[in-house]
Chains A and B, each alone.
Chain A
Amino acid sequence: MQSSTQSLDTQCRSDFPVLKRRVRDDKALVYLDNAATTQKPIQVIDAITNYYKNHNSNIHRAVHALAEESTEAFEATRSKIAKFLNIAHSEEIIFVRGTTEAINLIAYAWGRDNVQKGDIIVTTEYEHHSNIVPWQVLTQETGAELRYVDIDDNGELMLEQLDEHLATGKVKLVAVSHVSNVLGTITDIQKVIKKCKDAGAKILIDGAQAVPHMKVDIGNLGCDFYAFSAHKMLGPTGVGVLWARKELLENMKPFQCGGDMIREVHKQETTWNDLPYKFEAGTPNVADVICFAAAIDYLTEIGMDNVRNHEIELTKYALEKMSKVKGLVIYGPNDTKKQGGVISFNFKDVHPHDVATIIDKNGVAIRSGHHCAQVLMEKLDVAATNRASFYIYNTKEEVNTLIDSLEQVAKVFKL
């Protein structure tokens, strides 16, 4: 990374090898699909190579040198995450495959023992499928009820509906995303948590689109469960984090059983290992957990406030320019104070895949589809949307290329 008087993208862009790619007809790659996954800096790529070249070993089991080094590096990532998110007890951090697995872990290991017929679980209209379907399955199995908090015309949660649900006194869990992956809406999470606490309901936060983009202080939030994925924050695929309060984890049964998560195994009974190992059965994704530390170091060096400010600047610039493109409709808050670096939009009468195909020819990568949020698509009354999402390395010039491409779409379809 270079000096900090320059804009963030200039400082860090050269650390990302893939951004030098040319695609299609020798066009510079403009990568605007960061909500799906981010690119990786050379520091992260080097870390994984270094691990396999010099340290590779299983962890927690052997006393030889490599095993000790690997175990130490693996646990160092856990400590780094604790510091990054202000988590006092690092044993509350469970390594999983990603946000999806973290939420499913709660639905199984906590849900099956704590949710019964007559109980209510609340989720929202702007959740990713991974924060809806596990609750559908759980409520169907247990005879509990699944309720939704709807969104208003600005793509914000109608929290008075949460009040109504909580007032029944039957809500066991509220599952809500910190930032919507489609609309970019930032949930007023403090308010939601307070309401849940006051009503005695547990609260799970899907932070997949929050932790990568803003400062998150889990230690002071007061929620019960928090989940996110490494691959959306410069890290490798296949690593995610579930954070949960210790008392909850201690009272939960394991999610999977096998090696590492046991203390003693006899023919007919087994005692569980301490936290966090009780929830980390089998050989974990050692290499990727270890190289995730390099991603956290990278973001720490930049500073999460700078990440957020850079995204605000790009989003503001893009929103303003997009509002002038003929026939283009923007969904969501359309206000950078209330939204992350995500913009969902459509052209009247033009299918999002046609939009994505036309602009892909200019090297611009955006996402078109339902974004694993079909409940939200139904609400917006569309089959799909286009989504541009920004990260630290994106530039205003890239936004300009996006806008030029969108103007081409308007022209091709004679809007």
Chain B
Amino acid sequence: MSGDPIYTEMIIEYSRNPSNFGKIENPQIHRHDSNPLCGDSIDLYVNIDDSKITEVKFDGKGCAICMACTSVLTEMIQGKNLDDVKNFQKDELLAELGLEHLIKTSPVRIKCALLSLKALKYGIYSYFAEKMNDVEAAGNLKEEAASLY
């Protein structure tokens, strides 16, 4: 079946061989999140140095969409400035995998696609608000995360 709007070669490939798969011991950011409907369950680990993301990994289990999106997210934020990552939008992530249409076509599967971004936003929120005691820098990341389905 060619031209499947979801299960492209790229998504299948990522789901088989996820990027940055693994664990960081004692990371600066660690966030677990799950999607009860699908059974997706991931842990996201991030290290930061001088406001830059120096290392990012994830582990867990999930469907192909979740695995592919989480892989791509980790690739996209690696080495980036934390301030840029704070403003990272879901459309950028979805576009990378050609999944923008999920917002309209599948209110169920969009949750799989955005689980990692939700974990990341919550993670950065906790980093600023709780670890750095900088509520201002944390901004409305928490609300933003909560609105990601």
Contacts and interface: CB of A to CB of B under 8 A. Distances in A.
Q: Do A and B bind each other?
A: yes
Nearest to A413: B12
Interface in A229-276: none
- Residue among B16, B39, B41 having the largest count of chain A Cβ atoms under 10 Å: B39
Interface in A32-58: none
B139 to A, nearest CB: 33
Contact of A351 (B6, B62, B106): B62
Interface stretch (A306-314, A316-324, A352-360): A352-360
A351 B39 CA distance: 9
B1 A351 contact: no
B5 to A, nearest CB: 9
Interface residues of B, number: 19
Nearest to B63: A351
B7 A353 contact: no
Nearest to A24: B105
Interface in A350-395: 350-351, 353-354, 357-358, 369-370, 383-384
Contact of A412 (B12, B37, B61): B12
Nearest to B7: A412
- Residue among A354, A357, A358, A414 having the largest count of chain B Cβ atoms under 10 Å: A354
Contacts of A413: 7, 12
Nearest to B12: A413
Chain A: interface residue count, which band?
Answer: 10 to 19
Interface string B60-79: 01111100000000000000
B61 A383 contact: yes
The interface residues of chain B, by DSSP majority, are classed as: loop
Contacts of B63: 351, 353-354
Nearest to B67: A351
Contact of B39 (A357, A369, A412): A369
Interface string B20-40: 000000000000000001110
Interface string A327-367: 00000000000000000000001110110011000000000
Given A357-B6, A369-B37, A412 B1 contact: yes
20 contacts: A351-B38, A351-B63, A351-B64, A353-B38, A353-B63, A353-B109, A354-B7, A354-B15, A354-B63, A354-B65, A357-B6, A358-B7, A369-B38, A383-B39, A384-B39, A408-B1, A412-B1, A412-B4, A413-B7, A414-B12
A-B pairs with lowest CB-CB distance, top 8: A351-B63, A383-B39, A353-B38, A353-B63, A354-B64, A412-B7, A384-B39, A354-B63
Given A349-B16, A358-B6, 9 more contacts: A351-B63, A353-B63, A354-B64, A354-B65, A357-B6, A383-B41, A412-B4, A412-B12, A413-B7
